[in-house]
Amino acid sequence: MLYTQLRSFHAVAREGSATKASRVLNVSQPTITTQIKELEARYQLELFRRHGRRLELTDLGRELLSITQKFFDVEGEVSGFLEAAHDLVRGHLRVGAIGPYPLMKFLRQYRHEYPEVTVSVDLGNSDEVLQGLRDQRTDIGIVSQIKADPDILITPFGRQNVIIFVSTDHPWSTRSRIDFSDLDGQDMIMREEGSMTRRVFEKALKECKVRPNVVMEAGSREAVWEAVAEGHGIGAISEISLLPDSRIKPLHISDQTIQTRIDAVCLKQRQHSSVVRAFLQMVDAVNGASLGFKEIL
């Protein structure tokens, strides 16, 4: 009984509502609510403050969540290990990615090989994807190359070209390509310091002695996108992050190849999960040769 009560508490604490928790656990909402009330009554504790339908963790609730997180992490690791031991590849693979390309081509092959696996995909920037991994909201992350981390397993996924993009009102919008030197003196929007795309792009600018006029720095890929769409200047983006948008015209650089490395990452403690292990093994085996990847490592 205590296990089911803790499981219900953990799900509600993570999802923020009994309704969402009931979907995750495939248990009715009244059952979830009853189990939490029984847990609170059993130990005469208040774990949630209730504001109408909204639930907010108390200080005790937050402390208990930190403990149940460790508990269910271990449970997941044990389950993943046992699944791997039996070579059972089925279940739910949750992927977080900085963009849909070339991930969707890879997932088509993955689902063909493992039809009993359901896949869900969430898009975000690299920081959001990594946080999703650490919170165990996702199993695999597809991000621009990251620094070594003792808790994270890194598998090279491929390389993506950095391309230029402009608004459809820009004079270059009728072109499909530019020379790198064309950027000299042009108004540009740059990502924040530390962005991998900015780092490799600025390295190429310095090597080629091209000096654009940086009119704005933006703290996210989305902010750069909107600034370019509104005509503030020219942007540079990794091709994996390119999304269809009628306001935007992408342009390839004809005389320079500027690339970022794309990595598949997971928590080391989750690498024994059958769905994660199968994904990483396929990355190693296929290596993008027939899936449209760009110069895979």
Domain boundary among 27, 52, 84: 84
Number of domains in the chain: 3
Residue 293 lies in a domain: no
pLDDT at 98: 83
Residue 184 lies in a domain: yes
The residue from 68, 84, 100 where one domain ends is: 84
Give the three-state DSSP class for 156: strand
Determine the Cα–Cα distance for residues 237 and 250; give it in Å rounded to an integer. Answer: 9
CB 224 within 8 A of CB 235: yes
Say which CATH number the domain at 273 has.
Answer: 3.40.190.10
Pull the structure tokens for residue 195.
């962005």
* pLDDT of 88: 65
Q: Which of 65, 84, 103 is the last residue of a domain?
A: 84
User: Could you tell me if residue 294 is inside a domain?
Assistant: no
Can you give the pLDDT at residue 83? 67
3-class SS of residue 213: strand
Q: Are residues 246 and 279 in the same domain?
A: no
Residues 224 and 188 in one domain: yes
Domain containing residue 176: CATH number:
3.40.190.290
Residue 81 tokens read as 């290990």
Q: What is the pLDDT of residues 46-104, one digit of tens each?
A: 999 887 767 889 999 899 999 998 888 888 888 777 766 656 677 899 999 987 877 88
Low-confidence spans in the chain with pLDDT less than 70: 53, 83-88, 194, 286-297
Tens digit of each residue's pLDDT (9 = 90 or more) over 267-278: 998 888 889 999
Q: Give the domain extent around 234.
A: 159-260
User: Would you state the pLDDT for residue 291?
Assistant: 41
Is the pTM for the entire model greater than 0.85?
no
Give the pLDDT of residue 121.
93
DSSP track, 153-203: EEEEEEEEEEEEEEETTSGGGG-SEE-GGGGTT-EEEEEPTT-HHHHHHHH
* CATH number, domain containing residue 13: 1.10.10.10
